[in-house]
C-alpha cells in the first residue's frame, strides 16, 4: 500500500525534476510553446465559446498563457483568474487581457485592481484552465503543491471542462495520486490537445 507520506514524497521529487527541466528551456522556446498551446486550444474548443473561462497568468518557466487567454477573449469569453489566499485556497477576480498586474503571493501575478468574487466563483466557469507540472493519460495532475486547484476543482460545475497546460514531455505515463487529487479532462501541449475524459463540454 502506498501511504500518503510516500505519495507526497514522490510528488516532491517529481516537482524538483520537472522544474529543473523547465529551467533548461530558453525564453524563445517557451514563447513558441505558448503560441502552439494557443493553437491547440483553438483546436480543442472547435466552435465552442465558453461563457466564462477560469484562466491563470503564467509565471516563471510555466508555458506562457497570454496567447491562450487572447484566443478566449477573442471568442467573447468572460475571464476570471485566481488570487492565491494565505490559507492556500483560491479566490477569483474578473480579468481583461489589458489589465495591469502586480505580484501576488508566491510569485503569482494578480490584477492590480482585483474585485474578489469569492472561492465559489470557479463554479461559474464553463472552462477551467489549470496550471500543472505534469499530467498522465488518466488525467491525474501534478501541481505546485499548495493544493489550491484541488480545492477549486472540487467546486467546479458538473458540465465544465478542465484543461491542464503543460509542455509535451510533461505528459507522462503515470503519476502518484492522493485521495484529494482532482483529475483533469484534457491537457494542452504545444503539439496538440489531449482529451482524457468524455462527458463535459465541448
Ligand atoms: N501562474 C500560476 N498561477 C497560479 C498557480 C500556478 O501554479 N501558476 N497556482 C497553482 O496552484 C495558484 C498559486 N499557487 C502557487 C503555489 C506555489 C507557487 C510556487 O511554488 N512558486 C515558486 C516561485 C514561482 C516561479 O517563479 O516559478 C516559489 O514559491 O518558489 C506558485 C503558486 C494560483 N495561481
Ligand atoms: N480540499 C482540500 N482542503 C485542504 N487542503 C487540501 C485540500 N486538497 C489538498 N489539500 C492539501 O494541499 C496540499 C498539496 O496537495 P498536492 O500535493 O496534491 O498539491 P497539487 O495538486 O500538486 O497542487 P495545486 O493543486 O496547488 O496545483 C496537501 O498538503 C493537501 O493536504
ipTM computed for the complex: 0.92
Residues of each annotated binding site for ATP: 11-15, 141-149
Ligand closest to Cα of 85 equals: 1
87 CA to centre of ligand 2 in angstroms: 11
Q: Which residue has the cell 484562466?
A: 55
pLDDT, averaged across the chain: 96
Annotated binding site: 11-15, 57, 62, 141-149
Output phi, psi for 12, to 5 deg: -60, -40
- The dotted CATH code for 4-195 is 3.40.50.10420
Which residue reads 475571464 in cell numbers?
79
pLDDT digits (tens, 9 = 90+) for 80-137: 999 999 999 999 999 999 999 999 999 999 999 999 999 999 999 999 999 999 999 9
Question: Which pLDDT value is given to residue 199?
Answer: 57
Closest residue by CA, ligand 2 atom 1: 151
Confidence of residue 190 (pLDDT cuts 50, 70, 90): very high
Amino acid at each position: 500500500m502506498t501511504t500518503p507520506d510516500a505519495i507526497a514524497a514522490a510528488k516532491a521529487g517529481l516537482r524538483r525534476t520537472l522544474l529543473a527541466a523547465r529551467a533548461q528551456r530558453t525564453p524563445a522556446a517557451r514563447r513558441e510553446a505558448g503560441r502552439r498551446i494557443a493553437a491547440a486550444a483553438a483546436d480543442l474548443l472547435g466552435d465552442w465559446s465558453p461563457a466564462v473561462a477560469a484562466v491563470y497568468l503564467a509565471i516563471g518557466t510555466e508555458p506562457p498563457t497570454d496567447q491562450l487567454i487572447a484566443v478566449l477573449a477573442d471568442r467573447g469569453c468572460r475571464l476570471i483568474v485566481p488570487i492565491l489566499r494565505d490559507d492556500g485556497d483560491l479566490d477569483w477576480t474578473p480579468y481583461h487581457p489589458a489589465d495591469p498586474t502586480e505580484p501576488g503571493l508566491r510569485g503569482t501575478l494578480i490584477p492590480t485592481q482585483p474585485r474578489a468574487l469569492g472561492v465559489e466563483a470557479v463554479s461559474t466557469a464553463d472552462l477551467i484552465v489549470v496550471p500543472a507540472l505534469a499530467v498522465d493519460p488518466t488525467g491525474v495532475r501534478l501541481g505546485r503543491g499548495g493544493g489550491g486547484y484541488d480545492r477549486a476543482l472540487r467546486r467546479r460545475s458538473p458540465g465544465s471542462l478542465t484543461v491542464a497546460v503543460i509542455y509535451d514531455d510533461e505528459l507522462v505515463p503515470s503519476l502518484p495520486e492522493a485521495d484529494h487529487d482532482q483529475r483533469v479532462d484534457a491537457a494542452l501541449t504545444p503539439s496538440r490537445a489531449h482529451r482524457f475524459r468524455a462527458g463535459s463540454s465541448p
